[in-house]
Amino acid sequence: MSETFYITTPIYYANSLPHLGHLYTTIVADVVARHKRQRGSETLFLTGTDEHGLNIQRAAEKNDRTPQEQVDVISGELKRMFHDFRLDGENGGYDIFMRTTEPFHYAGAQHLWREIAKGVSPKGNPNIYKAFYRGWFCAPCAEFKTEEQYVMVEGSDIPHCPIHERPLDQVAEESYFFNLSDYQDFLLEMIENDPNLVKPEARRNEVISFIKGGLQDLSISRQKSSVAWGVPVPDDDDHVMYVWMDALSNYITALGFGNDRESAPGFDKYWSNVTHLVGKDILRFHTVYWFSFLHAAGLPIPGTVYAHGMWLDADGRKMGKTLGNVIEVDVLHQHFQVDAIRYFVMRDMVFGQDGKFGYENLIERANADLASGLGNLASRTFSMITKYRDGLVPDGKIAEENYLNARRAGLDPDGQELVSVVTHARDEFLRRFENFEFSQALESVWAVIARVDKMISDSKPWELIKDENQAETLNAVLYRACETLRWLSILLHPVMPEATKSIYSQIGLSDDISKIDPADLNWGELPSGTKIGETVGVFPRIDKNKVMSEIQESSQETVVSSQELDTASVPVVEEVIENFITIDDFLKVELRVGEVKVCERIPNADKLLRFEIDLGEPEHRQILAGLAEYYEPETLIGRKVVVVANLKPRKMRGLESQGMICAASLEDDSGPNPALAAFLEDVAVGARLK
RNA sequence: UGCGGUGUAGUUCAACGGUAGAACAGCGGUCUCAUAAACCGCUAGAUGGAGGUUCAAUUCCUCCCACCGCGACCA
């Protein structure tokens, strides 16, 4: 029986519309899956959506939908995108689109829970225990806020909810805990002993150092009263499973773990060789948590978890809506060939590192490598075969008595040199591919194209045709070019399924390219006399100026429409504040003009600046503000600022802050971006604002 | 502040301790089968800085600088 291969993308959280990140991960998985199928592995490729949790529950309420309707919409959008980019099953892409709302997934996730609960930790303690989860709770949100989710407000020691701008309550809720702290040694040993378990190496180091930093037990349930939309905890209807536990288990429930559906691919069959592809932002969940859950349930841990990088814009900045540098998947689909996009993302990003994605980069890459490179080689080859040999692939053998003629034309008579170049490129490609070094794999193949272009330039077929003695030389040139194209089509098929199929059929071949193992290729297997098919351009040259201006226009439209869609499906929680304050309320706030006398950084604090401010009082005020990331301290000295003068003093970083500096809080996708309040006119220090 | 990583041509990246290379871009030329393509040639660098080990350092070691990631701290 042949080897099995199971590859997964993360299941994408059904709270936001599809974007480049989803597309990228899925393309990579698709390329690998097609490659493995070609190599003869029984391959299973899984993607899908993670459809539970509070965010989804809330989005549904806002849209007047049931949660089920809500996730149907988002997973429908994702499927539509996958279909557009031919990543779906219909087009030879994923085998399973997993959805965590499937009943069989409920059964499987609960089975996993039970298996975990049945066992004990490596230190002999119960894997799951019930205790009180203490945390900061926002009642209007009905949600516990983690450190990333709450904000500290100056003048208060209590964390505030950023949405409702009110203090959080410290609440203890009964919850199930997973005994993660007992798995520290197990995880370390596992990850340190197997260099292939977490890749690339830099990410592996990160995970190791995170584990070494100590692990805390993990709350793995929420009370149904606060989060209803989820998989119920087995035998306890008051609780719902923590969404990550629910989501991660999809990788095995999809195979049939803990459920007995007919169509299941088979857990034992596929779990033996699994590769999880993840973004670097969710690596921890897929290593620390997932490995522990599996081990606790007595299941083997995966073969490889591979974290890839993120796409930045052409200047290396993070993509964000306010920067306006987002690559829209619909724009991509509308203006570019799917295969060109696939080639670009595989070729331009060194897998595992961050990459830069600009429409111009894509155009340049496609024009240089695809139009001028592979496409042009195919075009000139087929054109010559049509013109010079009536569209029949000639015999590539040169008789020994004609060797001299071939040499005179600058052609290696027996062709061994080219054969070894092509064979070597194939071997190198396969080796690189197995290591997920896609960029280098492709690079090594492109050397072959240059080599064949050179063969054509050197031997000059347009002159050979004029000399009857050079008939065999010409034949050999044409045959070699054509045979190389056959190899390239097969080799590159996983990366560019449509284009390579087209080239392959233009050669005149009709067998199924997706089932040919490149490792089995032998030079010379292209039969002479093959009638080439109709010649069609495979990679049209992209007019950069034209396409860029078209994108410019259409992106203005899509920005609007995607915003509409976004608010429709993922509502921003907006508080309509109808509470007016009276003038007396306002006058309670003492706003005064101050002049910055001293402004300096505080050692070991990334964000805090220490100010001494003259408010016209006998002593200058010391005020701390989180502005260090946005302003150079020196530039603020002498500046007039607005200060809340009667704010309750608060200690920060061991220093007392006696007031607050007013700034507009401009939100940006890259984070807050404040601007200090200032005056156009000259104002006296100490003046009151009212 | 702890751990890890990166720093090489205009750009993206290579170089078991052994003469710093490739691709793209740029400039010049050749050619016409081809998608203004291809082919040939040229240009380009004190390998972030300072030390050290060595016959020999981009590579190994130490320190410093800059940027990135993870965490801590802080918001």
**What would the pLDDT profile of A378-411 be if each residue is shown by its tens digit?**
999 999 999 999 999 999 999 999 999 999 999 9
End-to-end CA distance of chain A: 82
What pLDDT was estimated at residue A671? 41
Reading across the β-sheet that carries A128-138, which strands appear in turn? A143-145, A128-138, A169-178, A218-219
What pLDDT was estimated at residue A618? 81
Query: Integer distance in angstroms from CA A627 to C1' B51?
Result: 38
Which residue is closest to B34 in terms of CA–C1' distance? A380
Taking residues A67-96, report their average pLDDT: 95
What pLDDT was estimated at residue A566? 39
Q: Give strand letter and number of the nucleotide nearest A318 (CA to C1').
A: B68
Q: Would you say residue A67 has pLDDT above 50?
A: yes
Separation CA A442–CA A434 (nearest Å): 13
- Residues 6 or more apart whose Cβ sits within 8 Å of residue A118: none
Query: Integer distance in angstroms from CA A355 to C1' B64?
Result: 29
What pLDDT was estimated at residue A571? 31
Taking residues A304-322, report their average pLDDT: 82
Separation CA A38–CA A494 (nearest Å): 8
Task: Give, as ranges, the nucleotides of chain B with any atom within 7 Å of a protein CB.
Answer: 1-5, 12-14, 23-25, 31-40, 68-75
Look up residue A126 and give its DSSP letter.
B
Phi, psi at A102, each rounded to 5°: -65, 135
CB atoms within 10 A of CB A225: 11
Q: Give strand letter and number of the nucleotide nearest A280 (CA to C1').
A: B69
| Residues of A designated as active site | 19, 22, 138, 141, 161, 164, 318, 321
Q: Would you say residue A142 has pLDDT above 70?
A: no
pTM for the structure as a whole? 0.81
Pairing type for strands A128-138 and A609-614 reads: unpaired
Pairing type for strands A311-312 and A355-356 reads: parallel
Look up residue A513 and give its DSSP letter.
G
The β-bridge partners of A221 are A241
What pLDDT was estimated at residue A602? 64
What pLDDT was estimated at residue A449? 94
Which residue is closest to B37 in terms of CA–C1' distance? A372
Q: Give strand letter and number of the nucleotide nearest A388 (CA to C1').
A: B33
Separation CA A84–CA A463 (nearest Å): 46
Q: Give strand letter and number of the nucleotide nearest A542 (CA to C1').
A: B35
Separation CA A226–CA A615 (nearest Å): 48
Query: Integer distance in angstroms from CA A627 to C1' B27?
Result: 49
Query: Integer distance in angstroms from CA A92 to C1' B27?
Result: 46
Nearest residue to A49 (alpha-carbon basis) of A25, A22, A14:
A14
Give the best-scoring range by mean pLDDT among A171-180, A491-500, A538-547, A591-600: A491-500
Query: Integer distance in angstroms from CA A341 to C1' B29?
Result: 35
The β-bridge partners of A538 are none
Cα dihedral A455→A457→A459→A460 (10° resolution): 150
Taking residues A647-651, report their average pLDDT: 63
Q: What is the per-residue burial (b if ≥16 Cβ within 10 Å, else e) of A181-193?
A: bbbbebbeebbee
Query: Integer distance in angstroms from CA A360 to C1' B30?
Result: 30
Q: In this predicted complex, what is the ipTM?
A: 0.91
Range with lowest mean pLDDT among A105-119, A156-170, A391-405, A603-617:
A156-170
**What would the pLDDT profile of A197-218 be if each residue is shown by its tens digit?**
998 888 898 899 899 888 889 8
Q: Give strand letter and number of the nucleotide nearest A458 (CA to C1').
A: B39
Query: Integer distance in angstroms from CA A370 to C1' B26?
Result: 21
**What would the pLDDT profile of A15-57 be if each residue is shown by its tens digit?**
878 989 999 999 999 999 999 999 999 999 999 999 998 888 8
CB atoms within 10 A of CB A529: 9
The count of residues in chain A is 690
- Residues 6 or more apart whose Cβ sits within 8 Å of residue A565: A17
Q: What is the DSSP string of A664-677?
A: E--EETTEE--EE-
